[in-house]
Every structure is written in structure tokens, then in C-alpha cells.
Amino acid sequence: MNEKVWSTVDDYFSDALVGSDPVLDMVVRSSAEHGLPAIHVAPTQGKLLNLLVRLHGSQRILEIGTLAGYSAIWLARALGSGGSLVSLEGNSLHARLSRQNIESAGLSGIVEVMVGAAIDSLDRLIEQGTEPFDFVFIDADKENNDIYLGRVLQLLKPGAVIIADNVVRKGGVADRANHDADVEGVRRFIKLLADDERLDSTAIQTVGVKGWDGFSISIYQPQQSDD
């Protein structure tokens, strides 16, 4: 099997189960036109995030890594009445484009894009005592994933879901000879997931139009460490 086959299968499922969406297609085009890297989630993965939010009944979402707003739109569309999403983006040009795309999707009233280093934005949310989140999607620089997780754990409701993208790194995460900064960041992140008794976690490998990668999914259960 190779990436051409994976992409063909991904396209099959996307055509059959996701379909074309003018707004999301526009986001992809605008991202390319502005020279942003094509690292947004695949359509099938965006739909998965949407379904997970709906299954969980989440009303407060935190996203780390906005890019052009593709995944933010998928997530925000799953929110019920009164729901909200806060997305953190370190690049001001990306943030400006994402806000335009989110407005075009009719979601600017429920999506806030915070500009600045994600660690600083997370610290600001903690200091402000912001209302806790029940769903988190981590999809930024992997080198800092463990730091993000430490901050995120101070911002959660019991039962919150945490999903992190790109944890497989084309198999690099399990290659002891690979000391890439992003790979090492993912390893530290996975170790924190494993060591924290408040988290119940797993990870899934994926193949498709984005190549070979995967995501982790965790549930935050603070009562387990309080017994």
C-alpha cells in the first residue's frame, strides 16, 4: 500500500460521507492563495471532530492552532445553542485570515480567535478564570504539546475530551533514533497522558490524504486521583 491508495480511499469516503461544502472549500482555497501550509485536517477528520463534539454534547471548545480556520469551523458547527469556541493562533496573518473565513461561515458570533503565543494565551485564560472547557483540540507546534497539556489541565470541566493531532509523525514517535524536536514533544506529551491518573487515553494511527499519522484522545476524570 502507498499514499496514492490511501488518498484514493480517503477521497472515496469523503465523497460518499462528507460531501462538498462551499464554505470549507473556500477556506482551503484561501489558505493556499495566502501561502499557508496545507496542514489542516482532512475532510473526513474534520467530520470526525464534528461528530465527537456532538456525541459528547460539548458546549465550550478550546482549539490550539487555528491556521485558516478549517477545523474551527468543523468544531463550531457542532455546538448547540449557547456554545462557544476559543481558538489560539500565534501568527497574526493566519489569525486575520481565519477570522475572515469564520465570519464567512457565519460563526464569528461564537468563535473567538486569540492572537499570540499559545502558552501566553493559555496563561491569560487561566489568570482570567475563564469558564472551563469540555472539549480541547490540540493541533499546533508539537514541540510544545506537553506544555500545552499542562496548561489545558487547569482549564477543564470533569469529563472533558482532549484530542491531539499528528502524534504518529510517520512512525517517528516509536523510532528511538529519531530525535526531531516535534517527535520529542509528542513523546513527552504521550508520557504525560500515561502518567496522569486523571486522564484515560488511547491513540489511533491514520492513513489518507495527509499520509501516515494519527491522533490521541483522552477523557479528563479528576475524581480518579481524588479517591
SS3 breakdown of the chain: % helix, strand, coil, rounded to 5?
50, 25, 30
In this model, does residue 94 exceed pLDDT 70? yes
Q: CB–CB of 118/94 below 8 Å? A: no
133 burial level (CB within 10 Å; 0-12, 13-18, 19+): buried
Q: Give me the residue spans of the domains in the chain.
A: 3-165
Name the grid cell of 152.
Answer: 489545558
41-76: per-residue pLDDT in tens?
999 999 999 999 999 999 999 999 999 999 999 999
Mean pLDDT of 171-194: 95
The yes-or-no verdict on residue 227 having pLDDT over 50 is no
Helix (H) or strand (E) holding 92: helix 92-104
Measure the CA–CA gap between 73 and 98, rounded to whole angstroms: 10
Average pLDDT over every residue of 81-96: 96
Q: Average model confidence (pLDDT) for the chain?
A: 94
Beta bridge partners of 111: 85
Across 185-198, average pLDDT:
97
Question: What pLDDT does 71 receive?
Answer: 97
The model's pLDDT over 128-168, given as tens digits with 9 standing for 90+, comes to 999 999 999 999 999 999 999 999 999 999 999 999 999 99
Report which residue type is found at 117: A
Give the pLDDT band (50/70/90) at residue 3: confident
The predicted pLDDT at position 1 comes to 63
Four-point Cα dihedral 186, 190, 191, 197, nearest 10 = 150
pLDDT in the model for residue 149: 98
Give pLDDT, residue 226: 44
Asked if pLDDT for residue 97 goes beyond 60, the answer is yes
What is the rounded CA–CA span in Å between residue 116 and residue 95?
9
Distance of CA 146 to CAs 61, 71, 88, 151, Å?
A: 19, 21, 16, 9
Average pLDDT over residues 180-189: 96
For position 225, what pLDDT does the model report? 46
Q: Considering the domain 3-165 in this protein, what is its CATH number?
A: 3.40.50.150
Name the residue among 94, 39, 96, 49 with its Cα closest to residue 67: 94
Residues forming beta bridges with residue 88, ordered by sequence position: 64, 114
Q: CA-to-CA distance for 125 and 141, rounded, in angstroms?
A: 19
H-helix or E-strand spanning residue 25: helix 22-33
Using the 8-state DSSP alphabet, how is residue 116 labeled? S
Classify 40 as helix, strand or coil. coil
Quote the pLDDT of residue 45: 96
What are the C-alpha distances in Å from 90 to residues 1, 87, 117, 182?
37, 10, 5, 17
Please tell me the predicted confidence (pLDDT) of residue 38: 83
CA 84 to chain centre: 15
* Mean pLDDT, residues 193-199 taken together: 97
